[in-house]
Structures are given as C-alpha cells and as structure tokens.
Amino acid sequence: CEIEVSKDEDVKRMIAQHPCYSKEAQHKFGRIHLAVAPKCNIQCNYCDRKFDCVNESRPGVTSEVLSPQAALEKTKQVLEAYPFIKVVGVAGPGDPLANDETFEALELIKKEFPDVTLCLSTNGLILPERLPDLLRVGVTTLTVTMNAIDPEIEAQLIGHISYKGKIYRGLEAAEIMVKNQLEGIKMAVEAGLVVKINTVLVPGINDEHIVELAQKINELGVFIMNVMPLITQAKFADRTAPTPAECKAIQDRCAPYVQQMRHCRQCRSDAYGLIGQDMSQMSEERRNVIKL
C-alpha cells in the first residue's frame, strides 16, 4: 500500500544520509554525538570507565557530560552552522539506555528538529524494556554492541552487570546479557528500527566465534555489522590487539551473512562533523573554513 511505500522511501533516505550505515554517505553527511549519558550498567573487561564507552568510541579522552537542555543548545548551534549533519545520536560516555537524560535530550531535539535522524548506541542489556521509550522519542537507527552469542564466551568479556537492582557476575551475568541482547535486537528490528551491530574483536576469545554471531544477526534482520579491533586497556591491557589484516579477514568471513561496515573511526562520544574529521577537536579557524 501507499503508506508502506513511503515508509520504505523514508528508510532508504535515512540510510543514504547516515555516515555509518552507508559508505557513500560518509563523505557527504555528518553526525553529532551528544555526551548526555555518563552511567553504565555493565563492566566490559576492555573498558576503563575513566574514558568514553569503548563499544562505540575510542578511549584516551573523556567527553564533558551535557545536560539535556545544553545538548539541545549545542545541537541548535551545530545544525545551524553545518547543515550537512543529518544524524543526532547518543553514544555515551556510558550506556545511553541507562540514563534518563538520553531520552529527555532526544525528545527535546526531535521537537525542534523533526527531520533529523535520531540514533543511539547501547550494550543492549536493558534494550527490551527501553525499546518503547526509544520508539516514543523517535529513534530510528540503533547500534547494539554484541560480542558473543555463546554465554561461555561472553563471560570472558564482561566483569559484571547491574540488572534490576542486583549485581550478577560470570556465566550468570553473560546469560542475562546475551538473552536480553538477542531479544532486544529482534524486537527493535520488528518495530522497524534499522539496526547495526558493533562487535569488538578480541583475539583468543571471540575471533573464531564472530562468524556464528554474524549468522545469528542475519536471521534477526540486522542491517549492518561493524567489527572493531580491541583497544588494549583495563583488564585486557596485556592482550594483543588484532591487526587491520586480522580484522579484515573476520569481516570477509562475516560478509556473506551480513553487510560489513569497514569505515568506522571509533569516534568520541561528543564528536560532530563528518566521520574521520571530528570538529569537536578542531580549532575555530578550521571549523569556520568548513562552514564556508
């Protein structure tokens, strides 16, 4: 019917203008990340909580946390100056779903800018219960970091989770994590969100398992997968990071099942502009050149 056709067109346009979902879009369209979400509800073994969420961002920096109102103000300034930015997202510095401020900020922004694409990244622990809020505020592109579907493997990647007021560790934590991620992804796809999976490649733990994960997320209707190299820090400081060739080999093995994103730059949780050209890190002079 006509409504469905126009919905398909909307999705196509959204993907074509999202720099992370479309390789072609990365040079033309930008995104802004709003750092409104400081708290996290899990502990990944490769995460040092002094920095931004490594599931979407690179470490070494901590983004300044903004209030929802300040996030709206920043969005106004940035979108006015740089109209090629079409995507507004929350990617940390903790887990966006674990912070009510995420939803307050996105709601304010959607009211003011109904045409922007709202995007969010999460570890997925509370995705099933938070999905209605995502839909209510108008999020349409969603990233879930998922590193394993086998709880035995997931248990080697996380220290603990904090879930419904209780701390879980080991296999018990991993079982809850994987179950909720899979359920949340399935629900999100069914609700019409365009879903990306970020997977951190940790040699010696999940390298031989990632293809199985790719097969599973293909069944769930995930749009694209982003295999990212481990950044060695925290509990995993002594491990060896995968080489670009090792990453590529895994991406090639996953590609028959699900489209691969190969241009991720592991941005900061307050980055804006084109990916790979983070304007939050540029001098004002350089930013003004881009504006012209």
Element (H, E) at 118: strand 117-122
Strand order in the sheet with 166-169: 42-44, 158-163, 166-169
**Cβ-based nearer residue to ligand SF4, 47 or 105:** 47
User: 82: number of CA atoms within 13 Å, CB side?
Assistant: 23
Give the residue, chosen from 15, 36, 40, 231, that forms a contact with ligand SF4 under the rule CB under 6 A.
40
Contact characters 82-111, ligand SF4, x per CB under 6 A: ------------xx----------------
Pairing of strands 30-33, 272-273: antiparallel
Q: Is 270 in the site for ligand SF4 (CB under 6 A)?
A: no
Collapsing DSSP to helix, strand or coil, 7 comes out as: helix
Contact characters 239-268, ligand SF4, x per CB under 6 A: -------------------------xxxx-
Q: How far is CA 123 from CA 33, 127, 139, 246, 275, in A?
A: 16, 8, 16, 24, 21
Q: Is 42 in the site for ligand SF4 (CB under 6 A)?
A: yes
Give the residue, chosen from 205, 275, 279, 280, that forms a contact with ligand SF4 under the rule CB under 6 A.
275
Nearest-approach distance from CB 133 to ligand SF4, in angstroms: 18
Distance CA 239, CA 237 (A): 6
Per rule CB under 6 A, count of chain residues that contact ligand SF4: 20
Q: Of 38-46, 133-141, 169-177, 205-213, which part binds ligand SF4 (CB under 6 A)?
A: 38-46
Q: Is 27 in the site for ligand SF4 (CB under 6 A)?
A: no
What's the distance, CA 205 to chain centroid?
Answer: 22
Q: Is 55 in the site for ligand SF4 (CB under 6 A)?
A: yes
Taking the alpha carbons at both ends of the chain, their separation in whole angstroms is: 43
**Cβ-based nearer residue to ligand SF4, 43 or 232:** 43
Residue 193 CB partners (closer than 8 Å, separation 6+): 134, 135, 139, 140, 141, 142
Q: Of 35-43, 64-72, 169-177, 204-212, which part binds ligand SF4 (CB under 6 A)?
A: 35-43
DSSP letter for each residue of 17-28: T-TTT-TGGGGT
Nearest-approach distance from CB 37 to ligand SF4, in angstroms: 9
**Cβ-based nearer residue to ligand SF4, 72 or 224:** 224
Binding site for ligand SF4 (CB under 6 A): 20, 31, 40, 42-44, 47, 53-56, 94-95, 123, 226, 264-267, 275
